[in-house]
């Protein structure tokens, strides 16, 4: 017999988590009528064991998820290349073909993998990043026409349309709300 957890003893061949739990529950059931306090301790230990096991499984799954993107997504190093390129070239035209070349994939495969990894299309991501940069520039007090050009948008009207689509407010309204806060 081998001591596994507290006062529980099971044969070494039964030391899998499922078998350990089964044996512990059987011991608790057998002792419940004789001594409810001891049975309660057994059940507490089983509960602690299951909580620890669940935490270990969750940590293991988190590591696995980071190591391999779900559903055929981009690996972290390719995502990092795309993000860096978008941030460095936010004021310029950014094409899907260029992003695909950076990652070494075809354009169609890149689009599917990017959406699987990020939950949004590459175009949506680029526009969201442009709006984020525009928000920082607007709060700094830059003129909206300058903000539009610096964020890779064609003009102030284009900035207003895109900004409203992503924030729900025009740039002017957004500036007033955040300056007042």
- Higher-confidence residue: 157 or 55? 157
Contact 103, 74 (CB under 8 A): yes
Per mean pLDDT, which of 34-48, 54-68, 87-101 is the most reliable? Answer: 87-101
53-67: per-residue pLDDT in tens?
666 666 655 544 444
Of 28-37, 106-115, 140-149, 153-162, give the lowest mean pLDDT range. Answer: 28-37
Mean pLDDT on 31-57: 68
Q: The pTM is what? A: 0.61
Give the angle 161-164-169 at the CA atoms, nearest 5°: 140
């Amino acid at each position: 017999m081998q001591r596994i957890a507290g006062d529980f003893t099971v044969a070494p061949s039964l030391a899998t988590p499922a078998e350990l739990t089964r044996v512990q529950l059987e011991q608790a059931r057998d002792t419940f009528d004789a001594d409810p306090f001891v049975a309660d301790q057994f059940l507490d230990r089983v509960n602690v064991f299951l909580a620890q096991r669940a935490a270990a499984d969750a940590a293991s799954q988190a590591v696995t998820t980071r190591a391999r993107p779900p559903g055929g997504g981009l690996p972290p190093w390719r995502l990092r290349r795309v993000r860096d390129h978008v941030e460095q070239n936010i004021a310029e035209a950014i094409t899907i073909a260029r992003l695909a070349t950076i990652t070494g994939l075809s354009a169609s495969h890149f689009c599917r993998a990017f959406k699987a990894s990020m939950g949004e299309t590459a175009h949506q991501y680029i526009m969201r990043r442009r709006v984020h940069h525009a928000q920082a520039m607007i709060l700094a007090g830059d003129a909206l026409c300058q903000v539009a050009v610096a964020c890779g948008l064609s003009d102030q009207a284009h900035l207003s349309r895109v900004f409203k689509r992503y924030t729900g407010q025009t740039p002017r309204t957004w500036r007033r709300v955040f300056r007042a806060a």
